Amino acid sequence: MNVCVLAFAALLGTSPGAVWTDLTEEVLVRPDAPDLLGTGPTHLYVGEAGELLVYAAVEAEVLRLDGKGRVASRVPARPPEQAKSRGYEIRKSGSHEGVVEKTFRSRVRWTITTEAELGALHLAGIDRKGRLYVVAEELLSRSPVRVRRTVHLLAREGGELRRWELPPPSPIRVEKEWAVAPEGRFLLLQVSTEQVRVLSWGQP
């Protein structure tokens, strides 16, 4: 019998610029939870009320999950469109450097540097405090291809507050694997042949 697993990971740390390395993971296993494995979850979103939404490709449904990983409701739908962060530019500025720039009202510029070659930068989202969550992908080796993915939490006024490393990508392809909740949580969807997990990193 397949089991739906919802894992919440809390990363600890308080000093600005610190790397979050202590990972405490609580796994909630619910044998009575509906099986998500056969639904083909490919997109993760956060609803207006902060609820988790997962697009299930097999039945073309959006599933709303409760706080314990159970499917609270399902609605036939296409994948929700990904919200565009208008007014921000994100780009590589060198082999080991990227830039995020706010281009409306007061201009703010953030610079992200990496140890290995920078492959790509992604603006995952912005919380209600105006903090930016940027994912940097570093190319560790080309043959075989190895990539390190790090989340940089950027302050609204400029500067970096936190950074932490993400687990490797899911064995099964996920089209939209991360989302940012308004209160300040970074969420990651992972799908394998054995389980579905949502990891959550957050701070006040």
N- to C-terminal Cα distance for the chain? Answer: 38
Is residue 173 located within the same domain as residue 157? no
CB contact at 8 A, 92 and 101: no
Is residue 28 located within the same domain as residue 17? yes
CA 100, 107, 15, 180 dihedral sign is negative
Q: Look at the chain and report how many structural domains it folds into.
A: 2
Geometric angle at alpha carbon 93, from 87 and 94, rounded to 5°: 160
Is residue 145 located within the same domain as residue 132? yes
Q: pLDDT tens digits for 156-168?
A: 999 999 999 999 8
Query: What percent of the chain clears pLDDT 90, i.e. is strictly above it?
Result: 39
Give residue 16's pLDDT. Answer: 39
Is residue 174 located within the same domain as residue 160? no
Is residue 101 located within the same domain as residue 151? yes
* Token pair recorded at residue 38: 């056969």
CB proximity list for 108: less than 8 A, separation 6 or greater: 101, 102, 156, 157, 158
- Please state the pTM of the whole predicted model: 0.80
Is residue 65 located within the same domain as residue 23? yes
Is residue 116 located within the same domain as residue 154? yes
Q: pLDDT tens digits for 147-195?
A: 999 999 999 999 999 999 999 888 888 899 999 988 888 888 888 887 7
Is residue 66 located within the same domain as residue 105? no
Q: For residue 117, which of 144, 91, 141, 88 has the smallest C-alpha distance? A: 141
Is residue 93 located within the same domain as residue 52? no
Is residue 144 located within the same domain as residue 78? no
Is residue 93 located within the same domain as residue 153? yes
Extract the residue ranges of the chain whose pLDDT is less than 50.
1-33, 204
Give residue 85's pLDDT. Answer: 66
List the domain range (segments joined by +) for residue 102.
88-165
d(CA 146, CA 142): 7
Is residue 175 located within the same domain as residue 78? yes
Give residue 31's pLDDT. Answer: 41
